Amino acid sequence: MRGAAPRAPGGSLSVALCPGARHATKRWPGFEPLAAALAACALAAIATSARGQDIEPRAYSNAPVGVNFLIGGYAYTRGGLAFDTALPVSDVNLQTSSALVAYARVLDLGGKSAKLDVILPYTWLSGTADFRGAEVERVVDGLMDPRFRLSVNFYGAPALKLPEFRNYQQDLIVGASLQVGAPLGQYDPTRLVNIGNNRWSFKPELGASKAIGAWTFEGKLAATIYTDNDNFFGGKHRSQDPIYSGQGNAIYSFANGVWASLDATYYAGGRTTLDGVRGDDLLQNWRVGATLALPVDARNSIKFYASSGVFARTGNNYDGLGVAWQYRWGGSL
């Protein structure tokens, strides 16, 4: 739309060994079942995301040190603004398609398991919205802001090589992460909204994961902090308050390595200031989703996910669908 081009869904990467791996390694103590468990569960969570709207199961769990993950994914959304809600547009009707490539590696940081991941998304967007009483249309594609994240499990998930990992069983894991968004995406200051954001973002997060039988319950608290955009829509100065978010996931692991998750997230804050004028655009939004991960073989896995807005103070509810394929290698797999 002329002057309005919201960014398409991004991705938050999660490299995780599923709880079902604990049962698989009990039944088959050899290499093959462990690889099958990895195939089922160490899958990137390329969930539709919107600066605090990530719905990402299995973000905090353990995997063998030295394992690498290469991910390709596709996501589709339709409906309201899928990310920057603090904009003066209404009656939004957008469709976005996003492809991405991501890489992750499991690390040993001082005896604690850690993960480093990089996400490179590309988005196509089309649709209409009302801007100052007039309908505007926009068709655009381009690179989104890439994301980089380091996460560390500092309790309950020691750094283990593959032979040691075969005997590992999850109980309670507590970890933290920091994700950084770099302002390298497509950006045109003559447009109201862009695929890129022309500013840095920093998202510290604290998370916990508790395994009880075949179930794993996760909780996360995060804050996304933004630098200012000094070239917003014709050279205006735009700042935004942090967005605070909480998320819960209930994950069930089946005996064959398949796992499924029910997910919910709430996010609030994000009020903007434009050239010193405070906006009436406080976020108070709920989203729910579901995830299904399937093993293909010892090195490949596939995941399907969907999410939808339940309540949005800003009227930016949207629906999202996606699929991700992952290949893993290294770590003596």
Q: Which range, 10-24, 52-66, 287-301, 308-322, is most confident?
A: 287-301
- Does residue 322 carry a pLDDT above 90? yes
Q: Within 13 A of 212's CA, how many CA atoms are on the CB side?
A: 4
Taking each continuous run of H as one helix and of E as one strand, the counts in the chain are: 3, 17
* Residue 79 near residue 8, CB atoms below 8 Å: no
More confident residue, 127 or 296: 296
For residue 30, give the DSSP letter.
S
Q: Which of 134-138, 185-189, 243-247 has the lowest mean pLDDT?
A: 134-138
Rounded to two decimals, what is the model's pTM?
0.84
The domains located in the chain, with CATH, are 20-330 (2.40.128.130)
Query: How many angstroms separate the first and last alpha carbons of the chain?
Result: 48
pLDDT at 3: 39
Question: How many C-beta atoms surround the C-beta of residue 134 within 10 A?
Answer: 9
Q: What is the mean pLDDT of the chain?
A: 81
Question: How many C-beta atoms surround the C-beta of residue 150 within 10 A?
Answer: 15
> Over the stretch 121-169, which tens digit does the pLDDT of each residue have?
999 988 777 776 777 777 889 999 999 999 999 999 999 999 999 899 9
Record the tokens describing residue 301, joined without a space.
Answer: 């896995």
State the average pLDDT over residues 2-28.
37
More confident residue, 279 or 239: 239
Among 297, 286, 296, which Cα is nearest to 323's?
296
CA pair distance 255, 211, nearest whole angstrom: 15
